[in-house]
């Protein structure tokens, strides 16, 4: 048996444990790797002297799955898993997915919808007097009232629905230890109201004196303007230095969100990732697909100051960058090279955005991030400090290690930050050493109006990046391609914008194999726009494609070369009064349709799907 946490009563007894301090219930299969949240929390607790059993993907209809661990000494911890269970289960069209990458053999159905709620309610029924602490991405982004895309309504804080006692949000190492030590000291769970990075509820306790009172749950359900107001207040209170506690009322119940935890210092992050992870899944499993890409990867940073409107990362990890030292990463890499199945390739060195390896400006270290200004949008802040030197030094040391053949960067490059660096050394070495045939970048759209709502850089900057990328590949005699990712139907995108994007794809001879419709997930600026049809920053009206038909017409325009899409592409062009793009000219998107909704492809050169029309895209979306 590997040095892993027990997942059942038999393994507890093998360790000589009759009880444990905490039972950690997870929607994922147990993988002891630092890319999995349950593994980090379990290892951190272990390092502080707590005993932890993992309860991975229990059958919530069988009480014996929970009772086998006995009554924990201090409480239950619950996470839905590395991915929100609803995103895990459903496509943007609300169709059931066929595979769960965080389950043995990718089997679907091993966790319930809204896993955090279901698990917590189950525990409350079976063990009514034991503290329940919820966390992970699913709980973190639902910590206050939020728009729920799957129900198409405003749902209350998950702390109310789950019947849990305490919610830990964000990256929770320091918070969870403070909570665990308070419980170990004999403190009641209802008295743990002071920990940063937590959310608690009360009917009787005094509220923090400096708290912001948000619009009540009743108010935001009735008024989209009140929802926007509440969202914007929350959006501007995600920084540990500047945020204030916030209170949301549910009748006579107050949900109180404490200030966020501070980002980990480098020595703290080094310590976390230096814990004795086995980097393997539990031996009771045969295959966990999610580990394939990360098993030989290194997490070098956390946080993101990119501020893409459709991304909830800043609400979970914050805008302040935490990064690991080169020494810490080298030590982990050495361990990887000693693994039996290591083939010489480190698959990635990065994080949410690979090349964000330092805070965007030094003042953040004392004053925090700006509440009403972004670092990169609409233009780079004058205080922005751009450097890839520390990251580059780490990459150089990694590729010099014995047994390492290649070190790749696959977690997504923020191309605007790269372009702002006056020192092109990193760009040169990225091209020469760290691309596995294709580089993932995320321009997301081409329309300036849509890009502005997305919080993304201007089109001209992306085109300048593409030009420089191609020149450098030629200079270094490399044949490497770009994989540009685009989003269809983002709030603000009308048919004319989708057509502009289609024309750009035609120009660069690229048909994306994967098309991502905008997916409204909790706690993003874009989701607020989707629900309210207004920009919360300005109050201006925003067009939103909400019907299946509207979304389909925008999506097929990105794959206008596919024969099965021709009828719908024609319909989109007709609706947009752009039938000038139907014909035989080089500027046209499709040929005229024959009777029956099809046309003759015999003279049409089909644009091959894939990267710039040359190479298929087999990689997942970048995270930035």
Q: Using one digit for the tens of pLDDT, what is the confidence trace for 512-527?
A: 988 899 999 999 999 9
List, for residues 209-246, the tens digit of each pLDDT value: 999 999 999 999 999 999 999 999 999 999 999 999 99
| Global model pTM greater than 0.85 | yes
Looking at the domain assignment, is residue 99 inside a domain? Answer: yes
Residue 259 has pLDDT above 90, yes or no: yes
What pLDDT, on the 0 to 100 scale, is given for residue 608?
A: 40
Let me know if residue 255 belongs to a domain: no
The CATH number given to whatever domain includes residue 165 is 3.40.50.2300
List, for residues 406-419, the tens digit of each pLDDT value.
999 998 899 999 99
Q: Is residue 426 part of a domain?
A: no
With vertex at residue 489, the alpha carbon angle to CA 485 and CA 490, rounded to the nearest 5 degrees, is 75
From 160, 176, 200, the end of a domain falls on 200
Q: For residue 218, what pLDDT is reported?
A: 98
Answer yes or no: is 401 within a domain.
no
Nearest C-alpha neighbor of 409 from the set 357, 454, 458, 455? 357
Q: Which domain holds residue 552?
A: 488-624
Domain boundary among 166, 184, 200: 200
- Mean pLDDT, residues 497-504 taken together: 98
Kindly give, in sequence order, each residue whose CB lies less than 8 Å from that of residue 187, ignoring residues fewer than 6 positions away: none
For residues 587, 589, 595, 597, the Cα torsion angle rounded to the nearest 10 degrees is -170
Instruction: Look at residue 382 and tell me if it is in a domain.
Output: no
Supply the DSSP symbol for 181.
Answer: H
- What rounded mean pLDDT belongs to the chain? 94
Tens of pLDDT, residue by residue over 43-77, are 999 999 999 999 999 999 999 999 999 999 999 99
Element (H, E) at 484: strand 481-488
What's the pLDDT at 596?
54
DSSP-H helix ranges across 489-545: 495-507, 525-532
Residue 282: C-alpha distances to residues 287, 340, 391, 522, 604 (Å):
10, 16, 32, 31, 53
> What CA–CA distance (Å, rounded) separates 357 from 396?
15
Rg of the chain over all Cα atoms, to the nearest angstrom: 25
Across 173-192, average pLDDT: 98
pLDDT at 260 over 90: yes
CB 328 within 8 A of CB 270: yes
**How many structural domains comprise the chain?**
2
162-166, 260-264, 303-307: segment of lowest average pLDDT? 303-307
- Residues 609-620: what's their mean pLDDT? 41
Q: Which of 413, 416, 429 is nearest to 386 (CA)?
A: 416
Binned at pLDDT 50, 70 and 90, residue 597 comes out as low
pLDDT at 615 over 90: no
Element (H, E) at 24: strand 22-26
- Domain final residue pick, 170, 200, 230: 200
| pLDDT tens-digit map of 357-403 | 999 999 999 999 999 999 999 999 999 999 999 999 999 999 999 99
On whether residue 561 sits in a domain, the answer given is yes
Residue 454 located in a structural domain:
no
Of the candidates 269, 169, 254, the one whose C-alpha atom is nearest the C-alpha of residue 205 is 254
For the chain, helix (H) and strand (E) counts, in that order, are 24, 22
Q: Is 124 exposed, middle or buried (0-12, 13-18, 19+ CB in 10 A)?
A: middle
Per the domain annotation, does 334 fall within a domain? Answer: no
């Amino acid at each position: 048996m590997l040095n892993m946490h027990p997942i059942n009563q038999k393994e507890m007894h093998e360790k000589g444990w009759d009880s444990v301090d905490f039972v950690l219930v997870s929607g994922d299969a147990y993988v002891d790797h630092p890319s999995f949240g349950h593994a980090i929390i379990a290892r951190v607790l272990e390092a502080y002297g707590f005993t932890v059993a993992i309860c991975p993907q229990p059958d919530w209809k069988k009480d014996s799955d929970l009772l086998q661990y006995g009554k924990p000494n201090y409480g239950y911890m619950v996470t839905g898993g590395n991915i929100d269970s609803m995103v895990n289960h459903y496509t943007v069209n609300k169709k059931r997915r066929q595979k769960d990458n965080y389950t043995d053999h990718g089997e679907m159905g091993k966790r319930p919808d809204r896993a955090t709620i279901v698990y917590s309610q189950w525990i409350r029924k079976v063990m009514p007097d034991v503290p329940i602490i919820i966390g992970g991405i699913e709980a973190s982004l639902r910590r206050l009232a939020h728009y729920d895309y799957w129900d198409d309504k405003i749902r209350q804080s998950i702390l109310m629905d789950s019947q849990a006692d305490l919610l830990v949000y964000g990256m929770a190492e320091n918070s969870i230890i403070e909570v665990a030590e308070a419980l170990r000291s004999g403190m009641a769970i209802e008295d743990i109201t002071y920990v940063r990075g937590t959310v608690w509820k009360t009917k009787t306790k005094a509220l923090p004196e400096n708290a912001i009172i948000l619009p009540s749950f009743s108010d935001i359900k009735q008024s989209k303007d009140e929802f926007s107001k509440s969202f914007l207040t929350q959006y501007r209170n995600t920084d540990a230095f500047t945020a204030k506690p916030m209170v949301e009322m549910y009748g006579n119940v107050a949900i109180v969100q404490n200030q966020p935890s501070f980002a980990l210092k480098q020595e703290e992050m080094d310590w976390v990732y230096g814990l004795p992870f086995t980097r393997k899944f539990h031996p009771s499993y045969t295959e966990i697909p999610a580990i394939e890409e990360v098993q030989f990867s290194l997490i070098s940073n956390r946080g993101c100051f990119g501020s893409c409107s459709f991304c909830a990362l800043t609400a979970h990890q914050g805008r302040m960058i935490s990064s690991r030292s080169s020494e810490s990463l080298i030590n982990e890499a050495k361990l990887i090279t000693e693994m039996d199945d290591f083939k010489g390739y480190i698959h990635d060195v990065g994080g949410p955005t690979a090349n964000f390896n330092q805070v965007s400006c030094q003042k953040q270290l004392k004053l925090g991030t700006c509440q009403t200004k972004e670092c990169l949008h609409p233009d780079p802040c004058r205080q922005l400090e751009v450097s890839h030197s520390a990251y580059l030094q780490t990459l150089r040391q990694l590729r010099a290690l014995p047994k390492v053949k290649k070190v790749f960067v696959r977690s997504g490059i923020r191309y605007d930050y790269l372009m702002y660096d006056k020192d092109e050394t990193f760009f040169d070495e990225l091209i020469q050493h760290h691309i596995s045939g294709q580089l993932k970048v995320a321009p997301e759209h081409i329309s300036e109006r849509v890009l502005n709502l997305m919080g993304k850089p201007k089109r001209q900057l992306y085109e300048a990046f593409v030009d420089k990328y191609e020149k450098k590949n030629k200079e270094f005699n490399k044949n490497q391609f770009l994989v540009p990712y685009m989003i269809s139907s983002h709030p603000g995108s009308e048919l004319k914008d989708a057509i502009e994007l289609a024309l750009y794809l035609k120009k660069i001879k690229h048909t994306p194999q994967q098309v991502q419709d905008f997916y409204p997930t909790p706690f993003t600026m874009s989701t607020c726009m989707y629900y309210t049809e207004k920009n919360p920053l300005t109050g201006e009206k925003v067009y939103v494609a909400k019907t299946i038909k509207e979304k389909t017409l925008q999506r097929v325009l990105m794959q206008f070369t596919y024969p099965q899409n021709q009828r719908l592409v024609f319909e989109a062009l007709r609706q947009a009064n752009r039938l000038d793009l139907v014909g035989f000219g080089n500027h046209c998107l499709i040929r005229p349709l024959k009777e029956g909704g099809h046309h003759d492809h015999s003279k049409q050169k089909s644009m091959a799907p894939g990267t710039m029309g040359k190479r298929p895209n087999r990689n997942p979306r970048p995270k930035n």
